């Protein structure tokens, strides 16, 4: 009987627990449904507001553009050619005699003076020859002096005196020749400058004419270029130039110092030069440059991107902005272009100071369109 009672109590508790859990879930579901309804109302309201905004925007048919205001300014056209830096004194130094290098006295970057010994070729055999020749010369000099004294005292014979003199002079010439050969074993700088390149090392065998050093005078540099002969009538000494050095990212102004009049028959070009002012060693021989020579200039010109100038059967034209009834309107203007350089066109006629030319967004515009800046 007791067991039956306890069983009924457990079943009742379970039933109550299940009923309580179901009620909680129903309450939670009702809450979520209410939140869903509120969200739907907010979504509908936002959609209506956006639709109204889009309708307002669609009524504005102005086209977005950018303009360039016409202000007269200098306009130049350039002839562009590849160029390089050269030295007025840029020499290759070589040995004058055959032999092994026994001494190397300089390295690349050293400053040297004219006549300075850069390296020495083996001179042992020549030095030995000079020593032997000097001994012989000392002997014949003594004999000559004795014969000279005797001749002056009217004691010796003229033949003996002349023979002694001849022997002495012959050995002096041979000595001079050996000393010249000795001097040829010294590789010397022919100019004041800087050692730019060393092609030899101690122990290396040298032969006459083989390049051993390169010496450059960095205080006297120039930019040189070759220009096509078709420009010879437009290029002359004194022309303004711009020189760009891509390796150092620098551009400088200058004037043409030399314009050749002789045409190279092989490549149909003529030479031009611009002198450089030394600047803390920033320029170096063989440095690459771009030389831009002014061959046309207009001190006061209207300039536009060439792409913004359109063409029709009536000629060239652009669109400018004008105000009508408080709105910006596109208006077509006929123009005439002149010289073109680097994507920019000189406008010879058709525009006035202050005109606002549409340079971006002009592709989809026709005259009378409303525009927005």
Domain range summary for the chain, segments of one domain joined by +: 63-73+299-372, 79-88+217-297, 91-215
**Whether the Cβ atoms of residue 135 and residue 171 lie closer than 8 Å to each other:** no
Handedness of CA 306, 311, 317, 321 (dihedral sign): negative
Q: How confident is the model at residue 10 (pLDDT cuts 50, 70, 90)?
A: very low
The residue among 256 and 278 whose pLDDT is bigger is 256
Architecture of domain 63-73+299-372: Beta Barrel (2.40)
Picking from 124, 126, 127, 121, the residue whose alpha carbon sits closest to that of residue 103 is: 121
Return the CATH superfamily for domain 79-88+217-297.
Efflux pump adaptor protein, beta barrel domain (2.40.30.170)
Q: 106-157, pLDDT tens digit by residue?
A: 999 899 999 999 999 998 888 888 888 888 888 888 888 888 888 778 776 7
Query: What distances in angstroms separate CA 341 from CA 160, 236, 251, 338, 345, one per listed residue?
Result: 90, 20, 18, 10, 7
* Helix-strand-coil split of the chain, %, nearest 5: 35, 40, 30
Q: Using the predicted structure, report yes or no on whether residue 356 has a pLDDT greater than 90.
A: yes
Model pLDDT, residue 78: 94
Considering only CA atoms, give the Rg of the chain: 48
Q: How confident is the model at residue 9 (pLDDT cuts 50, 70, 90)?
A: very low
Model pLDDT, residue 279: 67
Model pLDDT, residue 131: 87
Model pLDDT, residue 174: 87
The most distant pair of C-alpha atoms in the chain lies apart, rounded to whole Å, by 182
Q: Which of 60-69, 112-121, 138-147, 158-167 has the highest mean pLDDT?
A: 112-121
Q: Using the predicted structure, report yes or no on whether residue 231 has a pLDDT greater than 50.
A: yes
Q: 178-213, pLDDT tens digit by residue?
A: 888 888 889 999 999 899 899 999 999 989 989 999
Which two three-digit tokens encode residue 283?
A: 């320029």
The residue among 45 and 100 whose pLDDT is bigger is 100
CATH code for residues 91-215: 2.40.50.100
Is-same-fold flag (63-73+299-372; 91-215)? no
| Percentage of residues of the chain with pLDDT beyond 70 | 87
DSSP codes, 302-333 = EEEEGGG-EEETTEEEEEEEEEETTEEEEEEE
Picking from 93, 95, 99, 94, the residue whose alpha carbon sits closest to that of residue 126 is: 99
What does DSSP say about strands 288-305 and 73-87: parallel, antiparallel, or unpaired? antiparallel
């Amino acid at each position: 009987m007791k067991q039956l009672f306890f069983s009924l109590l457990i079943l009742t508790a379970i039933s109550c627990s299940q009923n309580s859990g179901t009620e909680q879930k129903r309450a939670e579901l009702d809450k979520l449904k209410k939140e869903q309804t509120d969200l739907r109302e907010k979504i509908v309201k936002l959609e209506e507001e956006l639709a109204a905004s889009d309708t307002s925007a669609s009524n504005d048919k102005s086209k977005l553009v950018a303009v360039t205001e016409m202000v007269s300014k200098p306009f130049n056209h350039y002839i562009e050619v590849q160029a390089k830096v050269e030295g007025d004194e840029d020499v290759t130094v070589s040995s004058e005699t055959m032999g092994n290098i026994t001494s190397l006295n300089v390295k690349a970057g050293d400053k040297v003076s004219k006549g300075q010994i850069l390296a020495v070729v083996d001179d042992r055999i020549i030095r030995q020859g000079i020593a032997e020749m000097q001994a012989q010369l000392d002997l014949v000099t003594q004999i000559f002096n004795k014969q000279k004294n005797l001749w002056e005292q009217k004691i010796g014979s003229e033949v003996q005196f002349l023979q002694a003199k001849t022997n002495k002079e012959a050995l002096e010439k041979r000595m001079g020749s050996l000393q010249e050969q000795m001097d040829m074993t010294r590789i010397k700088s022919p100019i004041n400058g800087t050692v730019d390149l060393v092609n030899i090392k101690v122990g290396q065998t040298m032969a006459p004419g083989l390049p051993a050093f390169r010496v450059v005078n960095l205080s006297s540099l120039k930019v040189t270029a070759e220009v096509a002969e078709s420009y010879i009538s437009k290029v002359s000494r004194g022309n303004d130039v711009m020189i760009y050095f891509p390796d150092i990212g620098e551009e400088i102004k200058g004037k043409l110092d030399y314009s050749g009049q002789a045409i190279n028959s092989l490549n149909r070009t003529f030479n031009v030069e611009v002198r450089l002012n030394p600047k803390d060693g920033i320029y170096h021989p063989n440095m690459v440059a771009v030389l831009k020579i002014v061959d046309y200039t207009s001190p006061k010109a209207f300039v536009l991107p060439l792409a913004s100038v359109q063409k029709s059967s009536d000629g060239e034209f652009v669109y400018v902005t004008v105000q009508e009834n408080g709105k910006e309107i596109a208006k077509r203007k006929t123009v005439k272009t002149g010289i073109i350089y680097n994507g920019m066109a000189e406008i010879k006629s058709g525009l006035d100071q202050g005109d606002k030319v549409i340079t971006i967004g002009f592709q989809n515009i026709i005259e009378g369109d409303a525009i927005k800046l």
